[in-house]
Amino acid sequence: MSLLVTGSIAIDTVSTPYGVSEDCLGGSSVYFSMAASFFTPVRLLGVIGSDCPFDLAKVFAGRDVDLTGLEVRENSKTFRWKGTYSDNMDDRRTDCLELNVLAEAPPRVPDEYKDSKYVFLANTAPALQLQLLEQIEKGVFAAADTMNCWIENELDDLKQLLKKIDCLIINEDEARMLADEHNLIKAAQKILDTGPSVVIIKKGESGSITYNSDGESFILPAFPAAEVKDPTGAGDSFAGGLMGYLAQVCKTDSESLKTAIAYGTVAASFTIADFSLQGLTSIDKTDIDGRFETLRKLTHF
């Protein structure tokens, strides 16, 4: 089933205890698309400047990623991010952020994308996420990501977005901030009350907790990682694996969602093993399925 993602395409410079990856390919829609493409065709909607050094057609060669929605703006510059991770790999500092094209109007949704049945609105300004969602035909399963700066500065727009989506994917600090509630169980219920039927709270190396409007919950640990080289893009890869599986099976029921979360967890575990996309481009679906079965065995009792 058709899966559309819209989000950033970035030129990243990442420093971790394992080294520095300078001017590498990043961005939420890129990580999402690479992870989701293991499961289903992906429609990528995004914008870059003429300075972008990456040929995305070559990056996604052999993957079923449709780049019809990729817009190149000749007089603009590509989004850039530079960040440093601490020794424990949990704390991250943004050293430089250049919004560039992300501060401009969002890309137009091509007519052939408007019938997408699964939509992921990767992290960007809530007003832009709303504009893009409004261009899609009704009857979709829409999920979105957000972050602390939108909660702090654009809460009204974010609340409007929450009324329009089915699933919110958010980390634990952001969930507490959005709900103004420290207890995650209460925070999740408050968020559910604002609109979405599913809230997935990411807890980093502790995995994730999922709550839905039927009162069900699901806890899954992260896949045990012997080595973490670069956590950048892990959350977007998680969302990509999750939404990719849902689009593949064309189901969003509770059991399908649990399986999707497990696949998202596995996708993220490959991402963090290397810099940029190397953790995802060095594997195939067999590796994904093998690690999925390992995770299933590890969490079964």
Single out the residue of 32, 25, 26 nearest to residue 244, CA to CA: 32
pLDDT at 273 over 90: yes
**Residue 128: domain span:** 3-298
Does the pLDDT at position 1 exceed 80? no
CA 38 to chain centre: 15
Are the CB atoms for 35 and 234 separated by under 8 Å?
no
Strand order in the sheet with 217-220: 65-73, 42-49, 3-6, 118-121, 141-145, 167-171, 198-202, 208-212, 217-220
Quote the tokens at residue 104: 């401009």
Q: What is the dihedral of CA 123, 126, 132, 133, to 10 degrees?
A: 100
What 3-state DSSP class applies to 90?
A: coil
Q: Which is more confident, 120 or 300?
A: 120
Q: Percentage of residues in the chain with pLDDT exceeding 70? A: 100
Average pLDDT over residues 106-134: 92
Confidence of residue 42 (pLDDT cuts 50, 70, 90): very high
| pLDDT level of residue 166 (50, 70, 90 thresholds) | very high
Where residue 214 falls among pLDDT bands split at 50, 70, 90?
very high
Q: Per residue in 14-40, pLDDT tens? A: 999 999 999 999 999 999 999 999 999
Residue 88 has pLDDT above 80, yes or no: yes
> At 64, phi and psi to the nearest 5?
-85, 70
Mean pLDDT of 282-286: 96
Task: Flag whether pLDDT at 90 surpasses 80.
Answer: no
pLDDT of residue 82: 95
Q: Give 95-105 pLDDT, tens digit per residue.
A: 999 999 988 98
Q: Residue 126: which of 102, 160, 83 has the closest Cα?
A: 160
- List the structure tokens of 53: 């050094």
> Given 3-state DSSP classes, what are the helix, strand and coil percentages for the chain, each rounded to the nearest 5?
40, 25, 35
What digits encode the pLDDT tens for the residues 47-79? Answer: 999 999 999 999 999 999 999 999 999 999 999
Average pLDDT value for residue range 201-227: 93
In three-state secondary structure terms, 178 is: helix
| Residues 90-95, mean pLDDT to the nearest whole number | 87
Hey, what are 203's tokens? 């807890």
What pLDDT is stored for residue 124 in this prediction?
85
The CB density around residue 146, as the number of other CB atoms within 10 Å, is 24
pTM, entire model: 0.95
Cβ 68 vs Cβ 42: under 8 Å: no
Is the per-residue pLDDT at 210 higher than 90? yes
What is the model's pLDDT at position 66? 97
Which pLDDT score is estimated for 81?
95
The residue to which tokens 């996309």 are assigned:
277
pLDDT on residue 269: 96
What pLDDT shows up at residue 220?
97
Q: Which residue has the tokens 């009704």?
A: 138
Helix (H) or strand (E) holding 48: strand 42-49
- Report residue 202's pLDDT band, with 50, 70 and 90 as the boundaries: very high
Q: In which band, very low, low, confident or very high, does the pLDDT at 140 lie, cut at 50, 70 and 90?
A: confident
Position 288 confidence tier, pLDDT thresholds 50, 70, 90: very high
Nearest partner of 292 among 271, 269, 262, judged by Cα? 262
Q: What is the CATH number of the domain that holds 207?
A: 3.40.1190.20
The number of distinct structural domains making up the chain is 1
- Indicate if the pLDDT at residue 149 is higher than 90: no
Provide φ and ψ at 22, rounded to 5°: -100, 135
Q: How is residue 197 written in tokens?
A: 């039927």
Res 147 pLDDT > 90: no
